[in-house]
Homo-oligomer: A and B are copies of this chain.
Amino acid sequence: MSGNYLAGPQGLLWSINARAVLDVVDREGPLGRPEITRATGLSKTTVAQTLRELVARGVVEEAGADTTRRGPAATLYRVAPRCALALGVDIGHLRVRAVLVDAVGETLAQAETEAPRRRVADTAAAVTALAAECAGRAGTETGAIGQAVVGVPAVVARDGRTVRRAYGLPQGGRGLAEAIERDLPVPLLLENDVNLAAVAEQRFGACADVADFVLLGLGVGLGAGIVLGGRLHRGFAGGAGEVGFLPHPATELGTEVLGARRIAEQARQAGIEGRPSPREIFESARGGDERALAVVDATARRIAHVAASIALVIEPELFVLGGAFGASADLLLGRIRRHLARDAAPLPIRIIASGVPGDAVLRGAAWLARHRARERAFAAVVGGRPYDTDPAGSEEGDIA
């Protein structure tokens, strides 16, 4: 249903063809007309006309000439970088980070600040301040941003605005979204941080060609970013992937199998003093600390257990360790695989470490923001998208 064209006038054909040209140019980078002609199957006359029109409308621009071939130089075309600006934000527990990117994914500016602890208004103010800082450095205004995506450690409803079950964030409902929008009047989308990490994994990491995978991420809680058929699966109310509460033989129902708190508790039980963070425990384990290693092993066992449960439900092709787990994959992967083998999971389970360098949540947020900003700019130019030219390219699902 929704935006699908039923049938249409001839103009529809131009939309389809323009979209095809645009997608090819977008995907393959700067491209000469002959390549576009070959890739789309259109005649060169049509390609030429379409490109002229796309350039006139500002979404495509010339980008030098290709002189590698013999014959006259071919004009190269690329997506106009400035046709869509996008802002990605990662609201973490310690820091709030923001990045401003253009339509081709180039980073224009970055900024970060310490995470406010208490009030929603402070968090929103931090976000808008970072946005303004980025815009300033990039020489534009925040109003030029076509889409902002903000990653939060919480369950976000499918409207992309309502926040539930926030970890460390106020449970503000729609408060955060509304507070941000007051000072940053651009299209805004909140998204669960683990989901964004999964998007990053799909776009920049190890899952470029994997249609079905699950990213297991450790923040305060344990979360799963689930990608099925190349699209993010959010669940009916955005609660899919809250696997931290999956029942485990060794824990009571309704309590967390795994999460920062659980790891801390295990550390206490193992006799580790102080209140080390998971990251610090993994660090000690890497140094050979026996008690820390025990905690790591217990953690690995629980991850294996969670993965096995998830696999029985949706059988993804691949599991990926991200978040704090990703950084400790060297310690965890082998142990997880051993536990999986020992418990004789009914299905073979592949599990690997994240392949995303840097802040995956931030990169995922920026990618999604860029994708949506660009999609909107493209749709304005070539008309509503009649169909998915690139199925793997639209994981936005049902978010309006």
Q: Give me the interface of A with B, judged by CB distance under 8 Å.
A: 1-2, 4-8, 10, 12-13, 16-17, 19-21, 23-24, 39-42, 165, 212, 224, 226, 228-229, 231, 233-243, 245-249, 253-254, 305, 308-317, 343-347, 386-392, 397
CB pairs A–B below 8 angstroms (14 shown): A1-B392, A4-B388, A6-B39, A6-B389, A8-B41, A235-B316, A237-B315, A240-B314, A243-B312, A243-B313, A249-B249, A253-B305, A313-B313, A387-B388
CB <8 Å contact, A248 and B245: no
Main secondary structure of the interface of A (DSSP, over half): loop
Quickly give the copy total for this chain. 2
How far apart are the CA atoms of A21 and B2 in the complex, in Å? 18
Closest chain B residue to A350, Cβ basis? B236
Residues of B within 8 A of A228 (CB): 228, 233
* A40–B4 CA distance with the chains assembled, in angstroms: 12
A247 x B248 contact (CB < 8 A): yes
Chain B neighbourhood of A41, CB < 8 A: 6-8
Is the CB–CB distance between B390 and A387 below 8 Å?
no
Q: Is the CB of B40 within 8 A of A20?
A: no
In the assembled complex, the CB of A101 is this many whole angstroms from the nearest CB of chain B, namely 25
Inside 8 A of A312's CB, which chain B residues have their CB?
Answer: 242-243, 245-246
Known: A212-B235, A243-B313, A313-B309. A8 touches B16 (CB 8 A): yes
Report the minimal beta-carbon distance from A60 to chain B, rounded to whole angstroms: 15
Chain B: minimal CB distance from A19 (Å): 8
Min CB distance, A121 to chain B, in Å? 28
* Chain B residues whose CB sits within 8 angstroms of the CB of A253 once the complex forms: 249, 305, 343
Least CB separation from A13: chain B residue: B13
Give the residues in chain B near A13, CB-CB below 8 Å: 8, 10, 12-13
